[in-house]
Amino acid sequence: MAGERDVTPEQVEALRRDEDAQLVDVREDHEWDAGRIEGARHIVLGEVAAQASTIDQGRPVVFYCRVGSRSAMAADAFRRAGYEAYSLHGGLEAWAGGGRPLEPENGSVAAH
């Protein structure tokens, strides 16, 4: 699937299922607390570069935020560093808007 930076929720599901992709939420703490994708790791955008060594370069990584602009910045930076990195197009709004579940059970997409 290496190629385009922006991936759909369906492509994210396939990357996780078929390639054991890592999922990194780059939103702020209050956004993470409101709702997130199961199995995601939380690294605030400002900390992502400092945490790069903790992200497995041998597996695809999908970054996401609320609508996709912050995650696109992270994906671009990681792609330049040699990672197979993607950004969830439309962000968590697209994920939840397609009827996919969020954690916790009553999770929601927080405003910025």
Q: How far apart are CA 23 and CA 32, in angstroms?
A: 13
- Tokens for 29? 């703490």
- Looking at 8-79, which runs of residues are DSSP E strands? 22-25, 41-42, 61-64
pLDDT tens per residue, range 27-77: 999 999 999 999 999 999 999 999 999 999 999 999 999 999 999 999 999
65 catalytic, yes or no?
A: yes
Q: Where are the domains of the chain?
A: 6-97
pLDDT of residue 44: 97
Average pLDDT over residues 15-32: 97
In contact, 60 and 1? CB cutoff 8 Å = yes
pLDDT tens per residue, range 6-15: 999 999 999 9
Strand 22-25 to strand 6-7: parallel, antiparallel, or no bridges (unpaired)?
unpaired
Fold classified for 6-97: Oxidized Rhodanese; domain 1 (3.40.250)
Q: Of the listed 37, 65, 85, 109, which one is catalytic?
A: 65
What pTM was computed for the model?
Answer: 0.95
Closest CA to 62 of 104, 20, 33: 20
